[in-house]
Amino acid sequence: MRGLDHKTVLITGGTGSFGKAVVEQLMKTNCKEVRIFSRDELKQEEMRVRCSNPRLKFYIGDVRDKASVDQAMAGADLVFHAAALKQVPSCEFFPMQAVQTNILGSHNVITSAIEHDIERLVCLSTDKAAYPVNAMGMSKALMEKVALAATLKLPNSATTVAIVRYGNVMCSRGSVIPLFIKQIKSGQPVTITVPYMTRFLLALSEAVELVLFAFENAEQGDLFIKKAPACTIGDLARAVSRLFGSDVPAQTIGIRHGEKIYETLATREELARADDMGDYYRIRSDNRDLDYQKYRQYFTEGNLREFEQADYTSHNTTRLGVEETIRLLERLPEVHEELDGWERPCVGLGREKETNAKAARRCA
């Protein structure tokens, strides 16, 4: 990306799944420096050793502490804000922790970026922010509002603030696919919530592409959404089991704290003002201010277009079956790493144990 040439890029939460993937891509560009900002010194050290690149710099800090954010922000050109509490059950039990990191911490990052005249700030959000029913989704929804509210005060600012929203990233830390693989390899039952629950499926590389797309194309207050297919949790479990040649049983455990049967990536109200860009939706900021006389029509006449289109959900997007999900999983490098060297019998074929991804696919 030419827009990254000689730029200093700051990534908050940079040692997480997204941070690792975007660093890998940034190291292929001519950016001047990549800064990793996080509070986990061990993960930073592991990334430092693994990458061994002088352009990669590390800052210990917490988004809750604005002084540490300011220190990392000084001299940066572009910011990807990925730091967050993301686990739904954890946020249900400790909602104030989600508030402090996802809302107040994000406010610190946004404020610091504006104060330091950062060129572009892209904040990462989640499908759980649309019609949120859990603390994680609610805190992320408010993060979006904090970012958008900041843009209303920045008509002539040097900083462009944008948001990206995406669904479940396959094989990311704490996601269900690594759990299924771990259960299969240990011979334990594959635990699923309810078989008909649906979730979007997005590769980590696609999440990185979405952020880079936003960086190149965002205007003030834009929200970008990556279109994605979905499948049921039951079909996902069957796909992983077949790919690994497993006949361990599935165990239905029921919906966990704060979960929904399906997720929403874009509401009908948002789609009413969205631009369809092919693989993405661009939802432009509702930039009305507090001048009620200026926008009187919104209070007296309304906007019927808001109800012309359905929400974009994991129930009505492209639905993948078991075979299609297997083909999608086969393209993930994280799955290939798990398959390589994995010894297991070809279920139902009476063959001796085989060992590699090719054999696994033959058995599938």
Residues annotated as catalytic (active site), given as ranges = 128
Query: Which residue's structure tokens are 């462009």?
Result: 160
Question: What are the CA-CA distances from residue 224 to residues 10, 26, 121 (Å)?
Answer: 20, 20, 13
Question: What are the CA-CA distances from residue 305 to residues 268, 273, 274, 291 (Å)?
Answer: 9, 9, 11, 23
Closest CA to 47 of 19, 28, 69: 19
How far apart CA 182 and CA 240 sit, in angstroms, is: 11
How far apart CA 239 and CA 245 sit, in angstroms, is: 10
How far apart CA 56 and CA 34 sit, in angstroms, is: 5
List the alpha helices (DSSP H) in 204-293.
Answer: 204-217, 233-243, 268-271
Contacts of 91 (CB under 8 A, 6+ apart): 85, 97, 98, 134, 135, 136, 139, 258
Cβ atoms of residues 170 and 227 within 8 Å: no
Q: What type of residue is 349?
A: L
Contacts of 186 (CB under 8 A, 6+ apart): none
How far apart CA 154 and CA 304 sit, in angstroms, is: 29
Q: What type of residue is 324?
A: E
Reduced 3-state DSSP string for 149-183: HHHHCCCCCCCEEEEEEECCECCCCCCHHHHHHHH
Closest CA to 244 of 173, 187, 206: 187
How far apart CA 266 and CA 223 sit, in angstroms, is: 10
How far apart CA 41 and CA 18 sit, in angstroms, is: 17
How far apart CA 320 and CA 269 sit, in angstroms, is: 26
